Amino acid sequence: MVKVILDNVSKFFGKVKAVIDLNLRIGDGEFVALLGPSGCGKTTTLLMVAGIYKPTKGKILFDDKDVTKLPPRDRNVGMVFQSYALYPHMSVYDNIAFPLRLKKVPRNEIDRKVKQVAKLLRIEELLHRKPSQLSGGQQQRVALGRALVKEPDVLLLDEPLSNLDAKLRVVMRAELKRLQKELKITTIYVTHDQVEAMSMADRIAVMNAGKLQQYAPPTELYNKPANLFVAGFIGAPPMNFIEGLIKEINGEYYFDSEYFKLKLVNEIGEIIASKTSETIMGFRPENAKIILEEKPNTIQGKVYVVEPLGKDIIVNIKIGDMIVKILTRPGAELTPGQNIWLQLDMKKIHFFEKQTGKAII
Amino acid sequence: MRKKLKMPSIGGKTIILNVVKYLLAIIIAVIPLIPVWSMLLWLAVQSFSGRVILGIIPSEVTFKNWRFLWSPIKMGLKEYPNIWPVTLNTLFLALGVTGLVVFVSTLGGYALSRMEFKGRMELMQFIIALHAFPSIILLIALFVILNNLGLYGKGYMTLVGIILIKAGLEIPMATWIIKGFFDAIPWDLEWAALVDGCTRWKAWRTVILPLVLPGIGAISIFSFLSGWSEFLLVFTYVEDEAYYTLPVLIYHMIGEFKFIDWGMLAALGLFFTIPTIIFFSTSQKLLLRIYVGGIKR
Ligand SMILES: Nc1ncnc2c1ncn2[C@@H]1O[C@H](COP(=O)(O)OP(=O)(O)O)[C@@H](O)[C@H]1O
Ligand SMILES: [Mg+2]
């Protein structure tokens, strides 16, 4: 097992800048998720680590060894492609045995390892089949088996669950995580699904438009998003954003939006005011309470629509002409058009610079 | 629904209707084959009949028409070369062309499909343009080249020269065809092979090549047929009868007899088609070996 370091790595395809100045350190045995919307450069990054693409700039290190110029076969990585890329003309057994045959592993050793991996992934009874005779979930296991059988130093997974149905995805999520912890292989896991990343990874690298946005453990990403993009990308339903100015009146600080004024905790207000006055406030749907009578320092709004989710409900609330989403337990009857007040958890609100989108607090 | 289930027991009318429907379908499917098969059949009948009245109607059963298989063919004063060496020459030419075309165009098609290099687009357009020239307009220029290479009038080496020319003429189209097959293989597969430990060459051989076998089957059939039936180049460049190929031999036998021996001609024609049929039926298996790859959703 190794630690992987991406040192200022960029990849350009002609004019398209797929990855820009990416810095990542992935610890030995760590499970890191690359998270971002489609087209943000996740696959490109993975292919550079695998050695398929050469970085336009920058270096890639496995432990202390510079592998930037090494071809894929000299890197000892295992990879599961988004399409699984099973060899259609080979049986499942031959697919899994393929990397070992290339390494000239003795025949009985190959047989033992293939059977062992097949057992681990519970595909023993599929070994004689052709890939076209497998379901999506089975193909995914075979692809994983082929990546694992060579005991790679680094395991690369490119959206391995995206072709599975929702139910199987949840099962495989847990299974992959357990497997990774068991085998302790340094793993880079690409996904556009924040729930997947949050539930599986030790750390998450959020990317957008080829650039790294934030690299942190899931809870930190959730509680302290570094910028507007991360704040909006992590969490479902997403964070609510409201534009406004920070004003100081008689030594007290207020967040002044078009439709309401909110008194801030003094220390927070001071910090924000020292940086900028034009801000965007953000709060998560679960960090606000709906109350039915006016109280000081609340925001008035009207119920717009209620979406029941079973255990919880999402209440869409209209403030002026903005709509915010609030996640809450079903309680009092809420009817569209009804006047309500929002009480924000003032310790859990976020402020971002309007100009740069960077988090202030 | 109920009606459908009961259909067989309704009997009479529906059964007749079905029979008529299938019969019609079969007839329509078979009609285009009738001329082809009847001609082949006629050839076969002809080749075993002793006397042909008016060049059409066969009579008497005999093997005499096939005598070229075991004895030299004599017509008047002229004695033609034995059929077996000529067949071997033809096979040599056809297989040579096939081998060369398959070898060059699978490599070339892969490069055109997969590799980025300057002028790739232009090269592909140029390749198509090349195919626009019929070999007849190159005949004289090629003769000069062959002569300068010292391949003219050198027996088998002349045939080798013709293989080079013929393959050269076939390669552009074959490359183009096989490029399409390479294009259809997702990059992921090749990358997977590289990650699994292949060199690019090894990935090409063990993963890519098996997946383009149908394409290889297609181009080998085309190039075999074109080599087997090549007439013009052999007719022009080969002087020595010992290095004739079947089409040229057959031509001479029709052209130079005052009285055409229809029976033998039929036998020769049939003999000429046999290897193509064998080659086709073996390589046809490749054509059908198409794997459905990729994701199954
Ligand atoms: N081989 C390539 N040639 C040109 N552009 C590419 C190539 N591969 C990827 N790109 C571009 O780079 C960007 C990032 O692609 P990719 O890494 O596949 O995104 P993701 O996996 O995050 O969806 C996209 O804009 C894509 O169009
Ligand atoms: Mg991708």
How many CA atoms within 13 Å lie on the side-chain side of A185?
A: 25
Q: Are residues B50 and B151 in the same domain?
A: no
Residue B156 lies in a domain: yes
Torsion of CA B244, B248, B252, B254, to 10 degrees: 140
Give residue-wise pLDDT tens across range A166-195.
Answer: 888 898 899 899 999 999 999 999 999 999
CB B261 within 8 A of CB B250: no
Residue A233 CB neighbours (<10 A): 24
Total domains in the fold of chain B: 2
Residue A347 has pLDDT above 80, yes or no: yes
Phi, psi of A152 (to 5 degrees): -75, 155
Q: Are residues B51 and B79 in the same domain?
A: no
Domains in chain A, CATH or no CATH each:
4-233 (3.40.50.300), 240-353 (2.40.50.140)
Q: Are residues B206 and B246 in the same domain?
A: yes
Residue B67 lies in a domain: no
Q: Are residues B168 and B284 in the same domain?
A: yes
Give residue-wise pLDDT tens across range B50-78.
Answer: 776 665 666 777 788 788 788 777 766 67
Pairing of strands A313-319, A322-328: antiparallel
Q: Which two tokens stand for residue A52?
A: 């398929």
Of A74-88, B45-59, B176-190, the range with the lowest mean pLDDT is B45-59
What is the average per-residue pLDDT within A202-215? 95
Residue A325 has pLDDT above 50, yes or no: yes
Instruction: Indicate the pLDDT class of residue A275, thresholds 50, 70 and 90.
Output: confident
Residue A253 has pLDDT above 70, yes or no: yes
Q: Are residues B194 and B271 in the same domain?
A: yes
Residue B94 lies in a domain: yes
Residue B70 lies in a domain: no
Global ipTM:
0.88
Q: What CATH number does the domain containing B88 carry?
A: 1.10.3720.10
Residue B35 lies in a domain: yes
**Residue closest to A16 by CA, chosen among A277, A210, A269, A203:** A210
Residue A98 CB neighbours (<10 A): 25
Q: Are residues B32 and B178 in the same domain?
A: no
What is the average per-residue pLDDT within B87-91? 91
Residue B10 has pLDDT above 90, yes or no: no
Q: Are residues B152 and B30 in the same domain?
A: no
pLDDT top residue among B51 and A343: A343
pLDDT top residue among B134 and A11: A11
Q: Average pLDDT over chain A, rounded to whole?
A: 92
Pairing of strands A339-344, A288-291: antiparallel
Q: Are residues B82 and B183 in the same domain?
A: yes
Rounded distance between C-alpha atoms, residue B126 and residue B176, angstroms: 11
Rounded distance between C-alpha atoms, residue A189 and residue A218, angstroms: 14
Distance of CA A123 to the CA centre of its chain: 29
Instruction: Indicate the pLDDT class of residue B1, thresholds 50, 70 and 90.
Output: very low
What does chain A come to in residues?
361
Give residue-wise pLDDT tens across range B251-268.
Answer: 887 766 566 677 788 888
CB B142 within 8 A of CB B166: no
CB B296 within 8 A of CB A139: yes
Q: Are residues B131 and B272 in the same domain?
A: yes
What range defines the domain where residue B44 resides?
10-62
B199/A103 CB distance under 8 A: no
Residue B5 lies in a domain: no
| Separation of CA A129 and ligand 2 centre (Å) | 28
Nearest-Cα residue of chain A relative to residue B187: A85
Q: Are residues B22 and B91 in the same domain?
A: no
| Separation of CA A207 and ligand 1 centre (Å) | 13
Q: Are residues B115 and B260 in the same domain?
A: yes
CA distances from A245 to A77, A181, A256, A333 (A): 51, 47, 5, 34
Instruction: Indicate the pLDDT class of residue B4, thresholds 50, 70 and 90.
Output: very low
Global pTM exceeds 0.80: yes
Give SS3 for A284. coil
Q: Are residues B126 and B258 in the same domain?
A: yes
Question: Which chain A residues contact residue B186 at CB under 8 A?
Answer: 83, 85
Rounded distance between C-alpha atoms, residue A73 and residue B118, angstroms: 27
Angle at B252 between CA B251 and CA B258, to 5 degrees: 110
Give residue-wise pLDDT tens across range A43-64.
Answer: 999 999 999 999 999 999 999 8
Residue B36 lies in a domain: yes
What is the average per-residue pLDDT within A188-215? 95
Residue B284 lies in a domain: yes
- The ligand minimizing its distance to the Cα of A37 is 1
B191/A87 CB distance under 8 A: no
